[in-house]
Amino acid sequence: MNAIFPVFTLLLCGMFTLAGCSRGTSAEPPTPGNASAVAGAAADTGGSRKGDFGPPQGEPIKAVLTSPPNVPPPTGRSAPAKVIVELEVIEKELPIAEGTTYTFWTFGGTVPGSFIRVRQGDTVEFHLNNHPDSKMPHNIDLHGVTGPGGGAASSFTAPGHSSQFTFKALNQGLFVYHCATAPVGMHVANGMYGLILVEPPQGLPPVDKEFYVMQGDFYTVGKFREKGFQAFDMQKAIDENATYVLFNGSETALTGDNALKASVGQNVRLYVGNGGPNLVSSFHVIGEIFDKVWYEGGTRYQENVQTTLVPAGGAIIADFHLEVPGSYVLVDHSIFRAFNKGALGILKIDGPENLSIYSGKEVDSVYLGDKAASLASVSTAATSNAAGTLSLEEQVAAGKSLYSGTCSVCHQDNGAGLPGVFPPLAKSDYLATQPKEQIVRVVLNGLSGAVKVNGQDYNSVMPPMSQLRDDEIANILSFVQTSWGNSGERVRKEDVTAVRAATPRAEGAAH
């Protein structure tokens, strides 16, 4: 019996639907004596054919729309209604990173666009208004619509105009909506996407906190974190060479004061979408395990999940219970995106420690990098640098923030290093005696081989840090040279530029 059981299950799964087989729900694992669980038919929602609950009842309801990271309250209804959605397209310049702006095209003034929440069977009267100041026509394709173009064909809207169409939300689930005006990729890349939740008739299980998070990839002419206004780069977008990968349209949307907040003991739900236009997301929360994930935004959930895939133009719902206070980091686990392109957000949990579950003390900088410090000083320094008024104090303040995210993992926050492993920068005789050019070279190209610092021998490898911009290196070194008892020289951006130009590019180094 045991030998033929897997074959038996496989056959049934192939014969019927995939539901309840390969990616089970809370249903019992299939056993030969449990035929209904094997077929999974009992849990079948019936899809669109069973999603029409008849004509709308009662007075029409105006949908509550929310800006990210907020989610509208549950509809709380037990009958289908007519729901009116008013969504306005606004093209506007917003910060994409500290000190960097970009012209986003938005649904409702934010990236992602306003969150829409309805109930399965509702009749949705959709009004799309394109602000008179817009330069472009726009439309909307909602993945929760049954009908050609998902509404796009009926919603082409010129600047200063409005359009209207109506649909019945036949399928439950969490759906992406986006603009589908040509060039579609460009409209999506500029932030034209959001989420619409079609609640199942019985609603979703209640939780304490709900948040709205949506990933997107962005393509700018300038490099990552290059200051000032940045324009869209079509070729980078076609090449899928993202400059930024972000949650909620900005590097700082979910960090610092904007971190998501909850408390120990609470159940948290994340509605996570991915607008793309190009990249799929390996969504992960560092230090948490999702108790439930409604994968692909559909009806069934998987349990006890570490990382879940969010396709471009797709979404998931993740629930988890909070046991231990601290900072939890939301990332795309395609990890260079998190640490070098901005795909990082913070969920700050307050409440009492729970030492039986986790004993450790919180060390923010391990995963937060330069997000542990405020980057405001970095952007102030960049502004002054552009204006030609950069003072040593501004350089030192900016350098301190950058140091904590870049150098402190090895040389430590206090510059003391680790005996025998990482040489000290505090009171370093190497720093005191080597010419300025050599110090810059160490940061740009790294350092390896035997070196003596304060009488101690080191023979290790420091990786090149050439991904840092010239002004950033100047600020870090100005901070290092004037801190912890060092009395070295201030380093200016021009010093770094000169060394970089004179140095053959180190192998594997960024440029």
| CA atoms of 201 and 52, how far apart (whole Å) | 11
Q: Map residues 350-389 to x or -, x wherever contact with ligand HEC holds by CB under 6 A.
A: ----------------------------------------
| CA atoms of 346 and 479, how far apart (whole Å) | 27
Taking CB under 5 A as the criterion, the residue among 138, 227, 300, 341 binding Cu ion is 138
Is residue 167 near ligand HEC by the rule CB under 6 A? no
Instruction: Confirm or deny that 127 is annotated as ligand binding.
Output: no
Task: Return the number of the residue (70 or 414) whose C-beta is nearest ligand HEC.
Answer: 414
Q: Do 200 and 235 form a contact (C-beta atoms < 8 A)?
A: no
Residue 154 is encoded by which pair of tokens?
Answer: 């009926």
Residue 173 is encoded by which pair of tokens?
Answer: 């689930």
Q: How far is the CB of 156 from Cu ion (least distance, A)?
A: 10
Residue 192 partner contact from ligand HEC, Cu ion, none using kind-dependent CB cut-offs of 5 to 8 Å: Cu ion
Instruction: Confirm or deny that 15 is annotated as ligand binding.
Output: no
| CA atoms of 45 and 169, how far apart (whole Å) | 14
Residue 259 is encoded by which pair of tokens?
Answer: 């971190």
Count how many Cα atoms sit within 13 Å of the Cα of residue 205 in the half-sphere of its side chain: 14
Residue 400 is encoded by which pair of tokens?
Answer: 């301190």
User: Distances from the Cα of 285 to the Cαs of 178, 318, 327, 358, in angstroms?
Assistant: 26, 10, 10, 16
Residue 509 partner contact from Cu ion, ligand HEC, none using kind-dependent CB cut-offs of 5 to 8 Å: none
Q: How far is the CB of 84 from Cu ion (least distance, A)?
A: 22
Instruction: Confirm or deny that 143 is annotated as ligand binding.
Output: yes
Is residue 142 near Cu ion by the rule CB under 5 A? no
Taking CB under 6 A as the criterion, the residue among 409, 413, 456, 467 binding ligand HEC is 409
Is residue 430 near ligand HEC by the rule CB under 6 A? yes
Residue 220 partner contact from ligand HEC, Cu ion, none using kind-dependent CB cut-offs of 5 to 8 Å: none
Backbone dihedral region of 306: left (phi > 0), alpha (psi from -120 to 50 degrees) or beta? alpha
Listed in sequence order, the residues at least 6 apart from 283 whose beta carbon sits closer than 8 Å to its beta carbon are 215, 272, 307, 308, 309, 310, 316, 318, 330, 331, 332, 333
Beta bridge partners of 170: none
Task: Please report, as residue ranges, which positions from 456 to 495 form the binding site for ligand HEC (by CB under 6 A).
Answer: 458-463, 465, 476, 480
Task: Please report, as residue ranges, which positions from 367 to 426 form the binding site for Cu ion (by CB under 5 A).
Answer: none
Q: How far is the CB of 239 from Cu ion (least distance, A)?
A: 22
Task: Return the number of the residue (118 or 462) whose C-beta is nearest ligand HEC.
Answer: 462
Q: How many residues does the chain have?
A: 511
| CA atoms of 449 and 452, how far apart (whole Å) | 10
Q: How far is the CB of 495 from ligand HEC (least distance, A)?
A: 14
Residue 166 is encoded by which pair of tokens?
Answer: 């109506």
- Contact set with Cu ion (CB under 5 A): 138, 179, 181, 187, 192
Binding site for ligand HEC (CB under 6 A): 406-407, 409-411, 422-425, 428, 430-431, 439, 442-443, 447-449, 451, 453, 458-463, 465, 476, 480
